[in-house]
Amino acid sequence: MGTSSDDNGHSERYDVQPFIFQALHAMNLQVNGHTTYCYTGGKPFDGAKPTVVFIHGVLNDHSVWILQSRYLAHHGFNVLAVDLPGHCRSAGDAPGSVEQAAEFVVALLDAAGVQGAALVGHSWGSLIALEAAARLQQRVSHLVLIGTAYPMKVSQGLLDASLNRPQQALKMVNVLSRATLAPPPSAQCMSNGKHWQWTSRRVSMVARVWPIFWRRAWRC
């Protein structure tokens, strides 16, 4: 059994599978021993439908896919717009490499009971999708890479900020990775009127790890 509550604090009990919490708009999966948040576009997850997995860029979250995920969810597709580990509503440590993140995507599909899916990735997420597709092979029906490049170089200013001024680095990523007129990804992470924010521990950890795997994974 599980519980859900609305904005007025009313709660409701419902039956769920042991490894999954599911609501109308999202669900939490247990992946590699940690809770992983997936936005489903306003529709409940249906294993009989084709599935699209949306993978955000570094330091972003599921909210960058709000319009695309809602459209596909209302036009016959399952949607899993995931928060990568250590991002927004997902627990665990942020991936330290593309390969580690790709392993997470494979585990995510297994946890959701999805045999095949289309992978859509943006920026760092596009490299994760590409690596995951190489591992999943026939389980991937389509591969969409948005804002991709190899090597995917990062400005020195952003690398310096991630090491020394992590909060400033977060703001820079929001500006550099999407339109400045759009709300930052964290604007969608709300609970009872409060923003879901990373703890200082997670921000510091991401700031330390991020420059390391950028340099290692995408140097010429």
Structure confidence at residue 151 (pLDDT): 86
Give the chain's mean pLDDT.
78
Structure confidence at residue 2 (pLDDT): 38
Residue type, 111: A
Percent of the chain with pLDDT over 90: 52
Q: 166-187, pLDDT tens digit by residue?
A: 888 888 877 776 554 555 555 4
Q: What is the pTM of this model?
A: 0.70
Residue 163 half-sphere exposure toward CB, CA atoms < 13 A: 9
* Comparison of pLDDT for 158 and 183, the residue scoring more: 158
Residue 49 pLDDT grade (very low, low, confident, very high; cuts 50, 70, 90): very high
Structure confidence at residue 22 (pLDDT): 45
Structure confidence at residue 102 (pLDDT): 98
Residue 206 pLDDT grade (very low, low, confident, very high; cuts 50, 70, 90): very low
Residue 155 pLDDT grade (very low, low, confident, very high; cuts 50, 70, 90): confident
Asked whether the predicted pLDDT for residue 110 surpasses 70, the reply is yes
Structure confidence at residue 158 (pLDDT): 86
- Compute the distance between CA of residue 179 and CA of residue 56 in angstroms, rounded to an integer: 15
Asked whether the predicted pLDDT for residue 139 surpasses 60, the reply is yes
Asked whether the predicted pLDDT for residue 195 surpasses 50, the reply is no
Class level of CATH domain 12-217: alpha beta
CB 65 within 8 A of CB 55: no
* Comparison of pLDDT for 200 and 101, the residue scoring more: 101
Can you spell out the DSSP letters for the chain?
A: -EEEE-TT--EEEE---TTEEE-SSEEEEEETTEEEEEE-TTS---TTS-EEEEE--TT--GGGGHHHHHHHHTTT-EEEEEPPTTSTT--SPPPSSHHHHHHHHHHHHHHHT-S-EEEEEETHHHHHHHHHHHHHGGGEEEEEEES--SS----HHHHHHHHH-HHHHHHHHHHHHS-TTSPPGGGG-EETTEE----HHHHHHHHHHHHHHHHHHS--
Asked whether the predicted pLDDT for residue 70 surpasses 90, the reply is yes
Asked whether the predicted pLDDT for residue 36 surpasses 70, the reply is yes
Which of 117, 122, 21 has the alpha carbon at shortest distance from 77?
117
CB 109 within 8 A of CB 136: yes
**Domains of the chain: which residue ranges?**
12-217
